[in-house]
Structure 1
Amino acid sequence: MTLLLDGEQILGKKMKVTGNLRIEAADMSGQTSNTQTAHKGFKPKTLAVSLMIPFVDQVQLRTIMRLAEATAGGGQLKMYRIVNDTAAAFGIREVQFSEGISAREDDTLAAWLVQFTLSEKESNPEKVEQRRATNGVSSQSAPGQAVGGSGGAVGAGGEVGNGQELSGFEKTLKKLDDYLAPKT
């Protein structure tokens, strides 16, 4: 099995790469025995890698540690282009190290059993979600006129700015309003 990260080959014996896709769902049953769930999206795919590195090849373990500790601009984890059959089958092109690395000594062989996880970066569901158009807010209006502005201004003959005549009661209120608060 071949595993290349940015063209650098990860070497080890008995290498196994396991692909995972986590699908988030929430239980909607409450206190009932209903089986309905709410789909909450796809999480990034991951590749769990396990391999054995003999003690004499400790340079290979150092290489993995160097790649895992590498950072890009701004202190973010470095992203790697991956070449691997399982990654290709899962549609994974770019990964970064996640969830740590473990290397424990084998009980019978003079070797480390190394495990690490690579997490997909810029996944297809993530790209689709970014391209999806957001629901815009539509303006709402109610019947009638807007308060304030020139739409409700009353003209000299007791007319509203749009040519609508005031009723007798409205004319009386207008006179009272003008008397109490004269316009300057």
Structure 2
Amino acid sequence: MTLLLDGQKVQGKNLKVTANLRIESADMSGQTSNTDKAHKGFKPKTLAVSLMIPFVDRVQMIDLMRLAEATASGGELHLYRVVNDTAEAFGVRQVEFSEGVSAREADNLKAWLVQFTLSERESNPEKVEGRRAGNKVDAQGAPGSAVGEGGSNSGSSDNPELSGFEKVLGRVDKWLGGSEQT
């Protein structure tokens, strides 16, 4: 199995890629034994990668760290195009390094056991959610009266009655502006 990030092969032995899709939900049972859950959406898919790099292939470790530490012009993490069978099966196309990179020395081998996580960015569900129109908000009113009615004694819709606080602010505004004498 191979893993390519922007066309550059991640070198190492025993490469294993584990894909994860986290589905968020919230318990709606309160203090009851009800099993209802509220779906809160899909979180970005992640690829957990593990591999072994022999000490003699130190350049491979240096190259991997260079990929992990790469940043874009604004200081954000570099966004990589990923090529891997598992990533393709999960529909992951673009990733960035997340949650760090760890390397420990193998007990009986002269090699590092390396693990890192790649997190999906700019996924199809994310793009769809960004294009989706916002939910329309309906005007709310008290029972028995239409929105905009009630509380207005003047009967004129152009000059609605102000609250006490708004009247005080109006007087202060006029005083500061010099249009009212004290």
Q: TM-score, normalized by length of structure 2?
A: 0.77
Q: Does 1:125 align with 2:125?
A: yes
Distance in 1 (alpha carbons) for counterparts of 2:147 and 2:120: 49
Q: Which residue of 1 aligns with 2:94?
A: 94
- Name the SS of the counterpart of 1:73 in structure 2: coil
Q: Which runs of 5+ in 1 are unaligned?
A: 151-184
Q: Which letter does structure 2 place at the counterpart of 1:124? A: N
Letter in 2 for 1:147: S
Equivalent position of 2:80 in the other structure: 80
Q: Which of 149, 152, 157 is 2:158 aligned to?
A: 149
Whole-angstrom CA distance in 2 between matches of 1:81 and 1:143: 54
Greater gyration radius? 1
Kept in 1, the 8 Å contact 2:16–2:49? The answer is: yes
In 1: Cα distance, 2:23 partner to 2:90 partner: 14
Residue pair 2:96, 2:121 contacting (<8 A) in 1 also: yes
Alpha-carbon separation, structure 2, partners of 1:121 and 1:61: 24
Aligned to 1:137: 137
RMSD: 1.8
> C-alpha deviations, 1:29-68, integer Å up to 9, x for none?
1111111110000000000000000000011111110001
AA aligned opposite 1:80: Y
Any idea what the Cα deviations from partners look like across 1:62-109, whole Å, max 9, x if unmatched? Answer: 111000100002100000001100010000110000000000000000
Q: Which residue of 2 aligns with 1:37?
A: 37
Which segment is superposed worse, 80-89 or 27-36? 27-36
**Residue 39 of structure 2 aligns to a residue in which SS?**
strand
Alignment of 1:1-184 (within 5 A): 1-138=1-138, 142=147, 147-149=156-158
Among all aligned residue pairs of Structure 1 and Structure 2, give the percentage whose two residues are the same amino acid.
Answer: 71
Corresponding pairs, count: 150
Structure 2 gaps, min length 5: 141-145, 160-182
Q: Displacement, 1:147?
A: 2.6
The normalised TM-score by structure 1 is: 0.76
Tell me how far 1:115 sits from its aligned partner. 0.1
